[in-house]
A and B are shown apart, each in its own frame.
Chain A
């Protein structure tokens, strides 16, 4: 797609600049003239929405950092100072806290879009890997950000997650101690988490540049998964994609605003409004919702080391996906069986989320007696999470490679324009 540049500097200054640093040309080629498939649907607007989310987090984060006082004795109260005394501090903090959840909603939709339409397949493997890398750094950033207000969940969540690394034989315990900067989660831990929480979003921004660079080399995928073949298949980014993206962003902001102004506590946990207390373990430690499926996988396996490996492996599957999928057809539109397996996969991820939110030994169906199965009652969240974990890995490691070899896909259109034209004729 990186064809000939059509940029023509209009005035003396832009000519002068173009000969020295062709940055206006870069912007023109990338965001104005850049050809986009004409059939992109609204699932393709989430890339732009994610960029918006990153911008919002960075802007509000910088303002919060002006008032936040890192330190075990000061952190909690300084956040409350922001909420109560800083002018519009409540607004900035609500946007930042809700924004993290909105960011994850958007990234999960963006990734599921990629899974469904096969956007990870050649030639987009590097683009996909960069995306997975962004997702990984996002999780690290969000995790450390949640520690900063130094409430009960901040403290105990940090403790549980950092302890995970301690299960690795030999080096594990030393790594945890090194991460903590001491023999427990304490001031040094909080300090370094603040430092890294400030740094990582800028690392994300850097990787997003690479991500978009890679995108502009290979071009966007589209709902048919067919490569554009002629000019009839594409439209210039501006005004076509820009107009659609802007509309979608505005709708996204409406949902965002509903949470910021009317449901500020919906995504959080009440226990985090209690100052951190190392001597008092909360009855039920749960991470933020966007980590719950992985938390469920971690707890599904009785052995701690295997549990941690499974959890990291679940994320690892995403990285390996381009090489696990054997199907030559990109879009699941034309793969009926894959479509069914994919829908089940999405449902399983949600079920795993519920498993992560509940205590492992509690009943899934209240009142149903169930029976003992190995180490736990069959009617318990831990067994449900085992079934979910099994399907999660089955989907990536067995279904995805096998299906590509065995299925018979539906006929795939010749060009992007052909189904589009057929559609338009049908509508009349």
Chain B
């Protein structure tokens, strides 16, 4: 019996391994093995240090990436949700959060003048989504040498390696190895499949000045903006993990009770 269970466990393990296998076949280098404190079952974005990191990451996004990359699925108010960079327990409703309001007002969003029907611009409010830097994909391509900067809302979960991958791309610019010729507008990045990327190196050390005084080394900026993008792709992670721990505790206790009930029922029956 025990042997069979071991066999089954091994089988299941292999099956799950098979599910994870497709990433194997890739010419690019494996993403760097970096970690963030908010990862894992017990890590939380809401922890003070991690929230500070999200705020720094947002600053990098705002000052650097957002000039090319859109983030269409995220609303300003999300920044003030629990687990978000600007969550403040004083403002349970993120629409009231003054930091969020100020960030939104800093953007100009499209609107329609209801008196004339003309398109106009107005300052953003927390309920608005992040406006995109380009009017459409064609404009984005035209300004970026024919390559479309992917939308950032879900980017961290749209690549094998997730945040590690984004971090690696930002750190992975190199001179091309012998034999690789680059066209104008192309760059060599060892983490990109095929090695050639159309994005110019977006970050350098000291590119942003952090409000909390953290020295802005390239690595620090890359870690911070990757953290922010991981949050943007999975904004309910804290809620998910908290619920998960409660559910697991419940199920473990419940299973214990059911096991006792099962033993009680079968007490006098051989099997």
Q: Give chain A interface residues in 239-268, CB to chain B under 8 Å.
A: 239-240, 243-244, 246-247, 250-251, 253-254, 257-258, 260-262, 264-267
- Among A91, A273, A283, point to the contact of B157 (Cβ < 8 A): A273
Whether A109 pairs with B244 at a CB distance below 8 angstroms is no
Nearest CB in chain A: distance from B86 CB, A: 17
Q: Give chain A interface residues in 94-146, CB to chain B under 8 Å.
A: 94, 101, 105, 109
Whether B15 pairs with A350 at a CB distance below 8 angstroms is yes
A-B contacts at CB below 8 angstroms, number: 134
Q: Is there a chain B Cβ closer than 8 Å to A38's Cβ?
A: yes
Q: If the complex has contacts A38-B271, A261-B243, are A84 and B78 also in contact, measured as CB distance less than 8 A?
A: yes
Whether B265 pairs with A243 at a CB distance below 8 angstroms is yes
Whether B157 pairs with A260 at a CB distance below 8 angstroms is no
Q: Is there a chain A Cβ closer than 8 Å to B110's Cβ?
A: no
* Count, chain A residues at interface, CB 8 A: 58
Whether B262 pairs with A246 at a CB distance below 8 angstroms is yes
Chain B residues whose C-beta falls within 8 Å of the C-beta of A247 in the assembled complex:
255, 258-259, 261-262
Tell me what chain B mostly uses at the interface: helix, strand, loop, or mixed.
Answer: helix
Q: If the complex has contacts A91-B243, A254-B252, are A354 and B157 also in contact, measured as CB distance less than 8 A?
A: no
Whether A270 pairs with B158 at a CB distance below 8 angstroms is yes
- Among A246, A269, A358, point to the contact of B258 (Cβ < 8 A): A246
Kindly state the separation between the CA atoms of A246 and B265 in the bound complex, as whole angstroms.
12
Chain B residues whose C-beta falls within 8 Å of the C-beta of A414 in the assembled complex:
none
Chain B residues whose C-beta falls within 8 Å of the C-beta of A83 in the assembled complex:
236
Whether A289 pairs with B15 at a CB distance below 8 angstroms is yes
Chain A residues whose C-beta falls within 8 Å of the C-beta of B205 in the assembled complex:
none
Q: Is there a chain A Cβ closer than 8 Å to B14's Cβ?
A: yes
Chain A residues whose C-beta falls within 8 Å of the C-beta of B261 in the assembled complex:
243, 246-247
Chain B residues whose C-beta falls within 8 Å of the C-beta of A20 in the assembled complex:
none
Q: Is there a chain A Cβ closer than 8 Å to B12's Cβ?
A: yes
Nearest CB in chain A: distance from B40 CB, A: 8
Q: If the complex has contacts A39-B271, A243-B265, A261-B240, are A357 and B258 also in contact, measured as CB distance less than 8 A?
A: no
Q: Is there a chain B Cβ closer than 8 Å to A271's Cβ?
A: yes
Q: Give chain B interface residues in 122-165, CB to chain A under 8 Å.
A: 150, 153-154, 157-160, 162
Kindly state the separation between the CA atoms of A292 and B243 in the bound complex, as whole angstroms.
32
Kindly state the separation between the CA atoms of A266 and B254 in the bound complex, as whole angstroms.
26
Kindly state the separation between the CA atoms of A273 and B254 in the bound complex, as whole angstroms.
35
Kindly state the separation between the CA atoms of A252 and B41 in the bound complex, as whole angstroms.
20
Q: Is there a chain B Cβ closer than 8 Å to A66's Cβ?
A: no
- Among B19, B25, B158, point to the contact of A358 (Cβ < 8 A): B25
Chain B residues whose C-beta falls within 8 Å of the C-beta of A173 in the assembled complex:
none
Whether A84 pairs with B248 at a CB distance below 8 angstroms is no
Chain B residues whose C-beta falls within 8 Å of the C-beta of A246 in the assembled complex:
258, 261-262
Binary contact track B244-271/A, C-beta < 8 Å → 1, others 0 = 1101100110110011011001100111
Whether B269 pairs with A273 at a CB distance below 8 angstroms is no
Q: Is there a chain A Cβ closer than 8 Å to B24's Cβ?
A: yes
Q: Give chain A interface residues in 26-61, CB to chain B under 8 Å.
A: 38-41
Whether A243 pairs with B271 at a CB distance below 8 angstroms is no
Chain A residues whose C-beta falls within 8 Å of the C-beta of B153 in the assembled complex:
80
Chain B residues whose C-beta falls within 8 Å of the C-beta of A109 in the assembled complex:
8
Closest to B260 in A: A247
**Which stretch (A175-183, A191-199, A419-427) binds chain B?**
A419-427
Kindly state the separation between the CA atoms of A77 and B19 in the bound complex, as whole angstroms.
26
Kindly state the separation between the CA atoms of A235 and B262 in the bound complex, as whole angstroms.
14
- Among A38, A240, A350, point to the contact of B18 (Cβ < 8 A): A350
Q: Is there a chain A Cβ closer than 8 Å to B213's Cβ?
A: no
Binary contact track B217-253/A, C-beta < 8 Å → 1, others 0 = 0000000000000000101100111011101100110
Whether A254 pairs with B15 at a CB distance below 8 angstroms is no
Q: Is there a chain B Cβ closer than 8 Å to A90's Cβ?
A: yes
Closest to B193 in A: A283
Chain A residues whose C-beta falls within 8 Å of the C-beta of B162 in the assembled complex:
265, 270
Whether B241 pairs with A353 at a CB distance below 8 angstroms is no
Closest to A261 in B: B244
Q: If the complex has contacts A41-B1, A358-B22, are A346 and B11 also in contact, measured as CB distance less than 8 A?
A: yes
Q: Is there a chain B Cβ closer than 8 Å to A284's Cβ?
A: yes
Chain B residues whose C-beta falls within 8 Å of the C-beta of A273 in the assembled complex:
154, 157-158, 233
Whether A286 pairs with B22 at a CB distance below 8 angstroms is yes
Q: If the complex has contacts A38-B271, A289-B15, are A362 and B25 also in contact, measured as CB distance less than 8 A?
A: yes
Q: Is there a chain A Cβ closer than 8 Å to B48's Cβ?
A: no
Chain A residues whose C-beta falls within 8 Å of the C-beta of B182 in the assembled complex:
none
Q: Is there a chain A Cβ closer than 8 Å to B73's Cβ?
A: yes
Q: Is there a chain A Cβ closer than 8 Å to B21's Cβ?
A: yes
Whether A350 pairs with B14 at a CB distance below 8 angstroms is yes
Closest to A425 in B: B270
Q: Is there a chain B Cβ closer than 8 Å to A274's Cβ?
A: yes
Q: Is there a chain A Cβ closer than 8 Å to B16's Cβ?
A: yes
Whether A421 pairs with B270 at a CB distance below 8 angstroms is yes
Closest to A272 in B: B158
Whether A284 pairs with B25 at a CB distance below 8 angstroms is yes
Kindly state the separation between the CA atoms of A286 and B20 in the bound complex, as whole angstroms.
11
Q: Which residues from chain B sit less than 8 Å from chain A, CB to CB?
A: 1, 7-8, 11-12, 14-22, 24-25, 41, 73-74, 78, 150, 153-154, 157-160, 162, 193, 233, 235-236, 239-241, 243-245, 247-248, 251-252, 254-255, 258-259, 261-262, 265-266, 269-271
27 contacts between A and B (CB under 8 A): A91-B240, A105-B15, A109-B8, A243-B266, A251-B255, A257-B247, A257-B248, A257-B251, A258-B248, A261-B241, A262-B241, A264-B240, A265-B157, A270-B157, A270-B159, A284-B22, A284-B25, A346-B11, A350-B14, A350-B15, A353-B14, A353-B15, A354-B17, A357-B22, A358-B22, A359-B25, A420-B271
**The 5 nearest A-B residue pairs measured at CB:** A261-B244, A424-B270, A289-B19, A273-B158, A353-B18
20 new A-B contacts, CB < 8 A, other than A235-B269, A254-B255, A421-B270, are: A84-B74, A90-B236, A91-B243, A243-B265, A247-B258, A250-B251, A253-B251, A257-B248, A258-B248, A262-B41, A271-B158, A273-B157, A289-B18, A289-B19, A354-B17, A357-B21, A357-B24, A358-B21, A358-B24, A420-B271
Q: Which residues from chain A sit less than 8 Å from chain B, CB to CB?
A: 38-41, 77, 80, 83-84, 90-91, 94, 101, 105, 109, 235, 239-240, 243-244, 246-247, 250-251, 253-254, 257-258, 260-262, 264-267, 269-271, 273-274, 283-284, 286, 289, 292, 343, 346, 350, 353-354, 356-359, 362, 420-421, 423-424
